[in-house]
Each structure stands twice: as C-alpha cells, then as structure tokens.
Structure 1
Amino acid sequence: MKINTFILSLTLLIAQTYSFPLDWFQKRSTVSSSQVNSAALSNTWAYFWNNGVNGWNNNDQICENTTYSIPVVWNVAVASKVIANSGNPQNIQSVVDFLLNYRNPQGFFSASQDKDDDVYLDDNSQVLWVFISAYQVLGNEEYLSIAQTLINNIMGQWNPTIGGVNQHLDGDYVSSIATLEAALSAVKFYSISADPNLLSFANNAINWIYGNLQDPSDQLIYDGITPSSGVVNKGKLSYTVGVLISTLAHLNQITGEASYIDQAVNIGNAATNQNGALYNRGYWNNALEYVEFLFAGFADLLTLGAATTETQQAAFAAYNQEIYREGNYYYNYYQVGTSGTFVDSAFTSSIDLYNKFIAAYPGSGAYSPDASNFCDGIIGGTPSTSLLIQAAGAELFYQLSRVN
C-alpha cells in the first residue's frame, strides 16, 4: 500500500470512528499547545507561588487580600512537576527546597508539613518525579540521594499479603494508581541508575495489575483492592490508564521489546473507546486533575515508543488525533476566556464559560455556581481557581505540546 493511500484510508477510518467531520483535521487552531502551556505555566507561578514564604500557596492570588495556606503534598508535587518541565533552574531549585518541608525522618514525604506517618505512596511517586527532573537539570547529588532513598521506600511498600503497592504507608488498601506510579517511578529512576532490579519491579507491578485489577470486559483498570476483605473497588479513572501507558512506553524505549507496544495499544484502544467508561458527551469524562495523566501517557507513547507494525502505526495516528481533539475540548471548556487560567468545571465557575459550554452541548445541565470558585465567595465576581487544577491545565498542554 502506498503511504499516501494508507494515510487517506486511516484518516477516513479515524473520522468515522470518532464521529467528527473529515475537514476537522484541516482546521487546526492558530494557538499552539506550547503557547497555552506557556500561559498556564506563567499563571501557575504568578497565582500560587508566594514569594513571602518562598513556597506554594493553596489560595489563588488572583484575588486581593489572599491569605496564605499550606497545600497538601499531592498538589505541591503536581505544581512542582510543571515547574520542573519548564527547565527553569532557579524556579526548580525553589520548588524542590519547598518540597523538602514535607520530608519525614524515614525519607518519605508526608501529606502535610507535619513530617509524620501520614504518607501516601502515589504522592511520593509524584514527588520522586520532581527530584529526578531536578537532578537532571541541576546535577545536585543531594537530590539523587533523596531520590534513591525515596524509590527504595516506595518499592518497599509492596504489600506482603497480596502484592501490589499500598496506597497509604503500611495500610490496608492496595491501589492501582499507587502500584502503577511506583512502576513508572522505577523506570524513570532507571534513566539515572540503570539498576536492572528497577525494571524487574516495574514488570512485576504491571503483571500484578493485569492479574488482579484489570476488567476483562473492557481492559480498563479498577481502582484497588482491600487485602483484609478481598473487596475490589471497581471504580475506573483515567490516571491509572495514563500511568500504565507511560510505563509501557518507557519499558519499550529501554528494552526495545515490541510486546510493550502491543500492551500499550491494547490499553490505549480501551481508553479511546467512546462507548467505554471514560467517556461522556463524546469526550473523556474525568476531572482535569486526573485526565492530565492520560495525556501524559499518550504523549510518552507517541514520543518514546516505537511503532513497528502497521497496526501499531495506525493506533499511534489515531491517538495523536484523539489527544488533539480532547485538548481542544479542554481548551474551550475548562479555560476562562483565553487567559491560560483553568477551572474544574464549566458548571460551577464563570457564567460566560457555562454559556459557551451549554451552547455547544444543550441540555447538559443547570448552572450551579460554587462560591469557592469566585474571589471573596462572591458568585458572579472574579473567577478563581485552585493550585491543583491550574497546574493540571498547564501539565495537560505541556504534554500535548510534546506531540503536536
């Protein structure tokens, strides 16, 4: 088959599969993903970095007279990852210094600055990714040492009863996200240590997920399992799928094994099935704070993975088009104007954003403004956002910029 014929056939197939007109492909926005990321990154720093305490503020500095509030470590890690992606050495140094306020004596990062045993393993993987990036940019050996302790701690939380990684330190719940983020942490750390035990751990974690928390009916991943009762939480979120795809992409890049791409395509097809659990109104239905991981998964697959068969290449092309289409949706309906400021819902924030959404999707639901989404709690006033949502918006468009 000639390449131009193959591309035309593939384009027609994608258009039919995703139910949007063929000429959509030629109507690319004049605003690039990198421009959106740049604006969202700038706003993340301007709105939430507090120079007075040299740290992240949980409260949005869009509003006047904003008080300072210490965020939880998950929000700090997500925001700090956005800064790490920017490559700005000074800002990376600042966010890493702030993160150390959460490190407890065992080398874990606590949920708060109490530095206690309130430790979540998925939080800690997020923190580890920041330290890996910081070491790669700044070359600080202390960061490497902190990261080495942390990856050892994370892998040490493999549940002794049923396997998988505990959600909470020595807790009674094994979650898919903690397990898969631990696997991704292992392959990311492999890039600076080349320890084969890291690859073994990652493979064990993935195989455990397949054997214990994958729904055979649609290939998506359940939330987790309680070892003491054996009860499975059958909720399905996009971040588990995204992190799994990322891990498989890294493993393919490291080992050259094509089977990892086959696995990624299998889960990728499940994640882009518009009749599946992750869709509503024809788009991914998870909150911005979760769906950014799915964008990251596909960005990793498309930039790190090697598609060597016609089936794999066709899947990669379909994923490329779908994440662009999804990104356009989040650009239009999760952003206040074109300011690079993101909110968690068109239904609870700016009335202008809601009107824009309801015009495109009539009958979707009533406007239910939340006072917490406006400065000073004044509904209809200046829309505000949160550290986590704003950072997630920046991260989503960073990932999209890697591909498009």
Structure 2
Amino acid sequence: MVLQNPNLEGYEIVRNFWQVYYNSHKGTFVAPKKCSGCYNNDRFVVWAVAVASQAVVDGARIYKELRPLVPAAIEIFQKYKNPHLKGFSAAENNGNDKDIYYDDDAQVCSAMLTAFEVTGDKKYLDQGRELVRFLMGGWNDDPNAKTKGGMRWHVSKTLLNSCTTAEVAKCCLQIASFIPNEAKIYIDFAAKCIDWQIKVLQDPEDKLIKDGVGLDSTDVDDVKWSYNTGTTLSAASLLYHHTKDSKWKAIADDLAKAAINRGVFFYDRDYPDELRYWRDPSYFVQLLLEGLADYLLFVGDEAPDGLPQKIHTEVRRHLIMFYEYMKDPKDGLYLQSFEPHNTYKETYEHKYKREFDSKKGWGLKGEDKGDDGEPQKCLMGGGAAARVFFQGARIVPEI
C-alpha cells in the first residue's frame, strides 16, 4: 500500500464508514456490533457523531459526491439536543437530558458552521449561531472561584478545560466571518478565552497547553494532550487573521514550533529522534493537524524562516505512518491508535519489527479491541482517520 493522495484517502474513508454505520431508517449512525464510542449496544455518543459528521463536511468541501450526505449528517445532532438549554447531550434523549459537555458541543458547532460554509444553507448558520451563544454561556464567572475565568467542561461540573476553552474560541472565530455585525462580540470572547489559556495553562518552558484546572482549585493538570495545543493554535491563528495583532502571531508561532518538537510530551520519546511520533490517538491528532493547517493558512507567509517546511516534513511522515500501520486493507477503515506497535499483529510482525527494531511489544489499545481480543474499528476511528487525511492534505496535498 502506498499513500499518494491524502484527500482521496479521506474521501474513501468517509464512503466506507458511511456505508458501515449510517442507518437511513433510523436517521443516525448505528453500530453493527457494540464498539468504542457506544453508550449502549449500538448508538454512539455525540462526540463520535461530531467527529464523523465533521469529516463528511470536510470531504464535501472537496468532493461534490459527498454533498448529499451533509443534511443527513447534521440532522443527526437533533436527536441529542436539549431544546431548553440549547445544548446537545452526550446521548440521544427526549430533550431533557443535561449531560452536556461544552467541548463536545463545540465540535458539533464547528461541524454546523463548516456545513454552512460548504453548502451556503443558512439553516446551518442559524443552528451554529444558537449553539455559539449557548457555548459562550459556559464561561466561568463565579466570583468565588479560586481559578478565575476559563470555559467549563460540563454544564454541572467544576473543571475548566483547555480543549473546551480553545474549541469554543475557535467556533466564535468561525462564525465571526459570517456575521460581520456581530463579529466583535465573538472575536472579543475568543480573545478572552485564549488570553486565559496562555496565562493559566501554557507551560512556559515547552509552550504546550496543559489539560485543565478546577475552578475550586489552583492545581493544574499537567497532562499535555496534542489536541489542546492544536485547538489553541487554530484559535490563535484565527485571532491573528481577524485582528492582525502581533501578540497572537507570537503565540501561534510558539505553539506551531512546539507541535513539531520531537522532544515534547505528546511525542513517543522512547525512540531516537528520527523515529519519534505523535503518540496520541487519531481523534486528538486530527485537531493538532487542523491547528497546523490553520497556522499555515493564516500566518504562513509571515512564519519564521524554515518553519513551514519543517511542518510539511513532519505532517508528511505522520500521514504515511498512519496509513501504513493503522489501515485495514479489508474494509479501508482505521484503528484509532497512532502508535505503530498497537496495530494488527501481522503489521507488527512484518513491518514494525523491521522499522522500529522490535523496540516495543505488540498489543492493541482497549478502544481498538473487541470482546474477542481482535482488532475492532468504530465510528470515531473512521471520522478521525478521514479528518487526519483531510486536514493533513491542507499541508501535504500529495505524497
């Protein structure tokens, strides 16, 4: 197998997962067999639906053959909506469930706004605008909070998350381009989010973004997932695009450099430098890739010398590795892992041992393993894999 066209690979993945998971009679994604991301035997949490639906819309931007799928993909979200709060629950419900996560809903919102951008159908803009307004209500303005500011993770929890804060900022900046008379409101809110993110959660040493902090605490969770840096990079790059304030460019430059620094947290540093890779799952890496693509789009011409080429080189090698290690040639779908030893046994035996000198033993991550211990794919894996290639193709259109 040789990867040549990342966009085409993304297209094939969307076609494949749509055929496997979309049930036209039920108007939603249904798992043939319980798998990762199912909250019961066959239905998927809204996060998985958001990633898959975003992949459909990403693909429809490039391939008109996918445009007929967009209405069905976006309509699925209505099964998860709480019309009283205007947010979307983690599970399908009767309209009263309050298990609502702001980061999940930010990904729902991004899919809606991208659907408007791709199709021009104003109903998606209206849906996205309502959801943006709901998301902005998640800002922590509790006067008694030990940690001031930041976006809540969940409507009823006290955790302030970096992914929520950056993803909501990104939605605000997306919609600012579509509603000029409201743009300042959204841009100012996004700026408030990223100011908080950098002040409270950025590591001053490696420039990565830490995971979160409780509003009733000042103890920051030091885990630095790749998507936290990626979503913050997207938002900072968009802020520079909207404002031309050099402050946002400096922040974006630092984040872009950190994202491809093989010595940072989310690279597997058990290997020599030339073999290190992003070790997070694909559903995190897709947002890191989007951040790098947004950086090159909105800052690229003014980026530090040599940085765009370094980003291109790093993205290219990751796309190739993901394609060669995680694709199942039988059905064209992907595991969620980005770690080459956590793959199909035959791939491990015939490829990993040779290329990585048997550094690590074979295994499958729990989310990529069925009850029988065999590799198992899921909707999230399909959506995330398609987005890996669609977002990667914005940087590396051809291999």
**Residue number among 216, 235, 239 corresponding to 1:251 in the alignment:** 239
Partner residue of 1:10? none
Partner residue of 1:84? 57
**Residue number among 283, 287, 292 corresponding to 1:293 in the alignment:** 287
Partner residue of 1:130? 111
Partner residue of 2:89? 110
Partner residue of 2:259? 271
Asked if 1:178 is matched to 2:172, the reply is no
Question: What CA RMSD, in Å, does the superposition of the two structures yield over aligned residues?
Answer: 2.4
Post-superposition CA distance 1:34-76 (Å, at most 9, x none): 22212222222122212332211244699xxxx9711000000
Shift of 1:285: 1.4
Per the normalisation by structure 1, the TM-score is 0.84
Change (3 A) 1:103 1:298: same
**Residue number among 71, 76, 79 corresponding to 1:101 in the alignment:** 79
Asked if 1:46 is matched to 2:15, the reply is no
Once residues 61 and 234 of structure 1 are traced to their aligned partners in structure 2, the CA distance between those partners, rounded to angstroms, is 33
Once residues 227 and 326 of structure 2 are traced to their aligned partners in structure 1, the CA distance between those partners, rounded to angstroms, is 18
Per the normalisation by structure 2, the TM-score is 0.85
Q: How does 1:118-267 map to 2 (within 5 A)?
A: 118-161=99-142, 162-194=148-180, 195-267=183-255
Partner residue of 2:363? 368
**Residue number among 307, 317, 320 corresponding to 1:315 in the alignment:** 307
**Residue number among 330, 333, 341 corresponding to 2:322 in the alignment:** 330
Structure 1 residue runs of 5 or longer lacking an equivalent are: 1-28
Once residues 98 and 241 of structure 2 are traced to their aligned partners in structure 1, the CA distance between those partners, rounded to angstroms, is 36
Residues 75 and 387, structure 1, Cα contact 8 Å, conserved in 2: yes
Asked if 1:32 is matched to 2:33, the reply is no
Alignment coverage as a number of residue pairs: 367
Residues 302 and 320, structure 1, Cα contact 8 Å, conserved in 2: no
Structure number, greater radius of gyration = 1
3-state SS of 2:265 partner: coil
Change (3 A) 1:154 1:350: same
Once residues 60 and 265 of structure 1 are traced to their aligned partners in structure 2, the CA distance between those partners, rounded to angstroms, is 44
Change (3 A) 1:133 1:343: same
Partner residue of 2:63? none
Structure 2 residue runs of 5 or longer lacking an equivalent are: 61-65, 143-147
Partner residue of 1:16? none
Residues 336 and 367, structure 2, Cα contact 8 Å, conserved in 1: no
In structure 2, what residue type is equivalent to 1:108?
A: G
Residues 300 and 308, structure 2, Cα contact 8 Å, conserved in 1: no
3-state SS of 1:365 partner: coil
Bigger drift between 356-365 and 270-279 goes to 356-365
Bigger drift between 106-115 and 250-259 goes to 250-259
Post-superposition CA distance 1:273-312 (Å, at most 9, x none): 111112113111111111111111111112232433xx62
Once residues 279 and 367 of structure 2 are traced to their aligned partners in structure 1, the CA distance between those partners, rounded to angstroms, is 22
Residues 113 and 124, structure 2, Cα contact 8 Å, conserved in 1: yes
Once residues 225 and 387 of structure 1 are traced to their aligned partners in structure 2, the CA distance between those partners, rounded to angstroms, is 30
Post-superposition CA distance 1:314-372 (Å, at most 9, x none): 21221121111221121122222486321134545521122222321133332235797
Residues 57 and 68, structure 1, Cα contact 8 Å, conserved in 2: no
3-state SS of 2:261 partner: coil
Shift of 1:242: 0.6
3-state SS of 2:82 partner: coil
Post-superposition CA distance 1:171-226 (Å, at most 9, x none): 21000000000110110111211221111111111110111111112111110001
**Residue number among 60, 65, 73 corresponding to 2:46 in the alignment:** 73
Once residues 319 and 338 of structure 1 are traced to their aligned partners in structure 2, the CA distance between those partners, rounded to angstroms, is 32
Residues 373 and 384, structure 1, Cα contact 8 Å, conserved in 2: yes
Post-superposition CA distance 1:141-168 (Å, at most 9, x none): 3332221121111111100131000000
Residues 175 and 224, structure 1, Cα contact 8 Å, conserved in 2: yes
Shift of 1:30: 6.0
Residues 241 and 271, structure 1, Cα contact 8 Å, conserved in 2: yes
Partner residue of 1:23? none
Residues 261 and 306, structure 1, Cα contact 8 Å, conserved in 2: no
3-state SS of 1:174 partner: strand
Residues 215 and 222, structure 1, Cα contact 8 Å, conserved in 2: yes
Asked if 1:387 is matched to 2:379, the reply is yes
Partner residue of 1:284? 278
In structure 1, what residue type is equivalent to 2:106?
A: S
Once residues 370 and 290 of structure 1 are traced to their aligned partners in structure 2, the CA distance between those partners, rounded to angstroms, is 15
